[in-house]
Amino acid sequence: MVRMGVLVERIWRLYDTPHGRKLVRYAMVSAISALVAFVVLTIVYGVLQLWTAVPSVLFSNIVAGFPAYYLNRRWVWQKSGRSHLRREILPFWVMSLTGIGVSIVAASLARNFAESHHLHHLARTVLVVGSNIAAFGILWFVKFLILNRLFAFDSLASAEVET
């Protein structure tokens, strides 16, 4: 097993490279977004019991998408000014909604499992929240690669226009 000090040292060395810095910042934004989605999902599904699992997952992930877009754009890819609808906003939300779709399928499967096994509400909440985290974890790296290309392309296009 890797010691914590070695892991921190590896992350620090990775952070010293341009792509590593983006990856570490993207991971931090993803953690913030996941925390927002987790808190909102736990409140609307677990505490307030406003909706069933699927609408709760949909709502929590849409809410988390707004800070994720702005943090990624400004902090990870160092973009400022107005967002470009076709090159930035639409691809981000298409990928986000695809991820939400996958998380909805996972939440539905979790709900069906919980109901068929007659789990209590706390166990159902843990299962639904866990399935949501797992679904987004699967898509995380692919989304980074796509966003990195999109924002890099937009930066190159802007630089060509200025010259």
Check if the beta carbon of residue 24 is closer than 8 Å to that of residue 11: yes
Q: What is the pLDDT of residues 10-52, one digit of tens each?
A: 878 878 888 888 888 988 998 999 899 989 999 999 999 999 8
Q: CA angle, 99 as apex, 106 and 7 as ends, to 5°?
A: 95
Contacts of 20 (CB under 8 A, 6+ apart): 13, 14
> In sequence order, which ranges of 16-120 are alpha helices (DSSP H)?
18-41, 53-71, 90-116
pTM confidence score: 0.70
Q: What is the pLDDT of residues 73-93, one digit of tens each?
A: 999 888 999 998 988 899 889
What domain range is 55 assigned to?
4-162
Task: Kindly tell me if the per-residue pLDDT of 161 is higher than 50.
Answer: no
Between residues 113 and 5, the one the model is more confident about = 113
Range 93-118 average pLDDT: 87
**Cα(20)–Cα(144) distance, rounded to whole angstroms?**
12
Task: Kindly tell me if the per-residue pLDDT of 117 is higher than 90.
Answer: yes
> What is the domain count for the chain?
1
Q: How many other CB atoms sit within 10 Å of the CB of residue 107?
A: 28
Q: At what angle do helices 4-15 and 18-41 cross, to 10 degrees?
A: 120
pLDDT of residue 162: 47
